[in-house]
Chains A and B, each alone.
Chain A
């Protein structure tokens, strides 16, 4: 067929159009052959084909070959979402020998076949959007990606097991790491545990050596009792500001001898010990636990008499031979430059008081699982004795699963770890006390290596399992056997009747939820949260530790509830991705940034305040706006806002957009 010569005013335009069946995903609803036939009639279109799977090698090769044979200089693919395969087809276009930005993609799957039922109308819509794409692509210009070097260091936010694992992996590869932890010590929740399921490994024995290694690793700058307060920049070139809270201890002088603690005027603790879940008291000058890393004491300004303006002989300061105590210490700041960031800020446990029927806070003998973790730990407040607040040893114990989890009134999700940690605690309580232990569960979720076997072991050890979500814990007796006890009211749903079981101790297996300040962290690192507040991964299957911001990775429970093995695996993955960026050495910047036509710009500054990425400044000498292409993310806000029409965005130029609109409307 003779082809009519078509130009865009500068060159002859020769367009190749390809429409994908995506199996039956598109082909089942849209008459793809009809669309291809239609597009073939449009001016400038030299090739128009339909194919089963355009993203396959054969599909891509077809584009490459057609470019060569038919001297194509523009490509349009109508298929799925550009999020999935724009890169694929751009590189095919590039492989064919033309600039990759002479390509345009139309989404006829998510925006077409998947959302329409009327086949004829869906086909017409596909024709319209295809015609729009053909209309706009002729105006596309050749664009080049920019390359920027990557700063060879990584910021890790949060020093729990996820942060520790990622830091170690990166350090092993010789990378420079800044590890920032909010608490006085690293270790996170894992440091609170006695044993780990299902192997009953001593948690401290496997964690504390890692912590010590972190503390002495020359590649790792460990800043505990510190917070990231500001982050700027972009993948490869972030700057972050770290705020160091005053410890009232000169960190370079303190050797962790603990003489100050021994000599504090308070001979007994005077304030709740957070590390022991407030089951014991600590002094105002303290170290969270003996294996803390860094091994530095902290003075709690709330509890310290002197720092509260009271009269105190300051015996701690006198006792310190190295004069390390500094009551005048102020907060300080560090600014650092890093190439990538790994966010490992962890989780918080559900506040059991939010389920009033379980009586937490009302009845002394109702505990959270984390409190019981401390009770079973030999270094805990009772030296590993599982005793009630009145010193008695419980003879019967109820472990209540799913507290705050699988509950539309609180958190809808399954917290994943509670079944297993409940089994672990059941085992440990039984081992420590010989008590009869009841587990009340909705479903036992023991999916993991060795987990089901552990459940079986617990069954054989004589632990009791009652299938039913506990309705209520009460101290109101209805019979003699209930006097002086806590009564668990539950339907034994396998037996089919309601039971009242008197116990001495109730353990609430509270779920995991996002930290309270997760939304601040999210904003600071410009990442997303899913509806429940956990940080959102870029793709649940294929990019589980990436975020919507390039160069910012997430790992561990800040992304969603998970156990230690999964956390460690994710942390390693995140470290690997960070390393890949560092070792590549440069990042490529997408070219669809905006630029200012200085002749049209009046210097009115409208755009400057609107830019969400702080990419625009004003050149006061020339009195015009200047856009930093490195910071510009191509959102287009400035383009729309500019009263003089002085800003243009690559790939979204007026001629391109108007052509697309006109052609779409021309079909309709």
Chain B
């Protein structure tokens, strides 16, 4: 299995642990992720806000590059994933826009024929590789670990090619299959505030608080995410949030690939555990998933 890998900007910075854990898991499963040569930013919602047409062209340059490889595209960042799907949908539906995009691509010596399948690693692991096949590779079942699966918005909305956009279950099923206990988490696809959590903290952080509070109320040990922005908002602002909302206790927020990697028995450093601000090791030790006799958490590389 081989995919054209589009990391997106965040996975090279604050979301490094997502890239590290994803690559580690895929390499353990012999899924090849070949990074697209000289990809560009997808544009995110911010670029589209200024100019939708140019935004579509920006995203489509990556689609055009992927199309040249003849491979399906692996897009871990839910924000990029949503934007790329949107760029595709817009071109299918609006021929005028598609024409404008192809004029732009042509200026850059590219064409896009609309044939690329954009896939999120959740879909790749649960459907392409298969939940059953994955289960057979598990070395350390996540027994007893209570997980709140948090999908966020763009992974499943406005529509999802692989899951129910109102009540997604792919991550639940995948993590359940490696032994985790999935808590009933109805906020699973509510918004984390996106970039608003940084720009207008009083607004965005309240949303994050509600998400974390509910995970805590459901007695989750950990929140699993599938998006670097969700992970950032829920984890990195936790201290700020807890200052305002004092009933909030620290809760680790990880990428689902980090948990999957742990179940495969992969090295915690390779899975980016040292990059977590709220460490996951204590709860993994408490649940007997990680050896108690561990040394100090390893230092993160820069």
A357 surroundings in chain B (CB, below 8 A) = 166
B217 surroundings in chain A (CB, below 8 A) = 476
Does B23 count as interface, using CB distance less than 8 angstroms? Answer: no
Shortest CB-to-CB span from B159 to chain A, Å, is: 11
Chain B, residue nearest A409 (CB): B166
B167 surroundings in chain A (CB, below 8 A) = 356
Rounded to whole angstroms, the CA-CA distance of A470 and B187 in the bound complex is 17
Total chain A interface residues with beta-carbon distance under 8 A: 8
Shortest CB-to-CB span from B213 to chain A, Å, is: 8
Which of B164, B166, B186 is the one whose CB lies under 8 Å from A475? Answer: B186
Which positions 342-366 of chain A face chain B at CB distance < 8 Å? 356-357, 359, 362
Does B10 count as interface, using CB distance less than 8 angstroms? Answer: no
Shortest CB-to-CB span from A45 to chain B, Å, is: 50
Shortest CB-to-CB span from A657 to chain B, Å, is: 42
Pairwise interchain contact B210-A362, C-beta atoms closer than 8 A:
no
A475 surroundings in chain B (CB, below 8 A) = 186
Total chain B interface residues with beta-carbon distance under 8 A: 8
Shortest CB-to-CB span from B244 to chain A, Å, is: 14
Pairwise interchain contact A476-B210, C-beta atoms closer than 8 A:
yes
Does A152 count as interface, using CB distance less than 8 angstroms? Answer: no
Chain B, residue nearest A474 (CB): B186
Does B214 count as interface, using CB distance less than 8 angstroms? Answer: yes
Shortest CB-to-CB span from A219 to chain B, Å, is: 52
Rounded to whole angstroms, the CA-CA distance of A651 and B235 in the bound complex is 80
Pairwise interchain contact B186-A478, C-beta atoms closer than 8 A:
no
Pairwise interchain contact B166-A476, C-beta atoms closer than 8 A:
no
Rounded to whole angstroms, the CA-CA distance of A476 and B210 in the bound complex is 9
Chain B, residue nearest A355 (CB): B166
Shortest CB-to-CB span from B211 to chain A, Å, is: 10
The proximity string for B residues 175-212 relative to A, scoring 1 for CB distances below 8 Å and 0 otherwise, is 00000000000110000000000000000000000100
Which of A356, A359, A478 is the one whose CB lies under 8 Å from B210? Answer: A478
Pairwise interchain contact A356-B214, C-beta atoms closer than 8 A:
no
Rounded to whole angstroms, the CA-CA distance of A357 and B186 in the bound complex is 9
B166 surroundings in chain A (CB, below 8 A) = 356-357
Rounded to whole angstroms, the CA-CA distance of A474 and B166 in the bound complex is 14
Which positions 462-508 of chain A face chain B at CB distance < 8 Å? 474-476, 478
Chain A, residue nearest B218 (CB): A476
Chain B, residue nearest A363 (CB): B186
Rounded to whole angstroms, the CA-CA distance of A362 and B188 in the bound complex is 15
Rounded to whole angstroms, the CA-CA distance of A266 and B145 in the bound complex is 42
Rounded to whole angstroms, the CA-CA distance of A357 and B190 in the bound complex is 11
A476 surroundings in chain B (CB, below 8 A) = 186-187, 210, 214, 217
Of the candidates A356, A474, A476, the one having the most CB atoms from chain B within 10 angstroms of its own CB is: A476
Shortest CB-to-CB span from B183 to chain A, Å, is: 12
Chain A, residue nearest B187 (CB): A476
A362 surroundings in chain B (CB, below 8 A) = 186
Shortest CB-to-CB span from A500 to chain B, Å, is: 12
Which positions 209-253 of chain B face chain A at CB distance < 8 Å? 210, 214, 217
Shortest CB-to-CB span from A614 to chain B, Å, is: 45
Rounded to whole angstroms, the CA-CA distance of A240 and B34 in the bound complex is 66
B214 surroundings in chain A (CB, below 8 A) = 476
Rounded to whole angstroms, the CA-CA distance of A475 and B167 in the bound complex is 16
Shortest CB-to-CB span from A471 to chain B, Å, is: 12
Chain A, residue nearest B164 (CB): A356
Rounded to whole angstroms, the CA-CA distance of A359 and B187 in the bound complex is 12
Rounded to whole angstroms, the CA-CA distance of A66 and B214 in the bound complex is 87
Chain A, residue nearest B210 (CB): A478
Shortest CB-to-CB span from A350 to chain B, Å, is: 15
Rounded to whole angstroms, the CA-CA distance of A474 and B214 in the bound complex is 12
Which positions 315-363 of chain A face chain B at CB distance < 8 Å? 356-357, 359, 362
- Measuring CB to CB, which residues of chain A are less than 8 angstroms from any residue of chain B? 356-357, 359, 362, 474-476, 478
In the A-B complex, list the 6 residue pairs whose CB atoms are closest, starting with the nearest. A356-B167, A356-B166, A476-B214, A474-B186, A476-B187, A476-B186
Q: List 14 A-B contacts (CB under 8 A).
A: A356-B164, A356-B166, A356-B167, A357-B166, A359-B186, A362-B186, A474-B186, A475-B186, A476-B186, A476-B187, A476-B210, A476-B214, A476-B217, A478-B210
Interface contacts beyond A356-B166, A356-B167, A362-B186: sample of 11 additional A-B pairs, CB < 8 Å, sorted by A: A356-B164, A357-B166, A359-B186, A474-B186, A475-B186, A476-B186, A476-B187, A476-B210, A476-B214, A476-B217, A478-B210
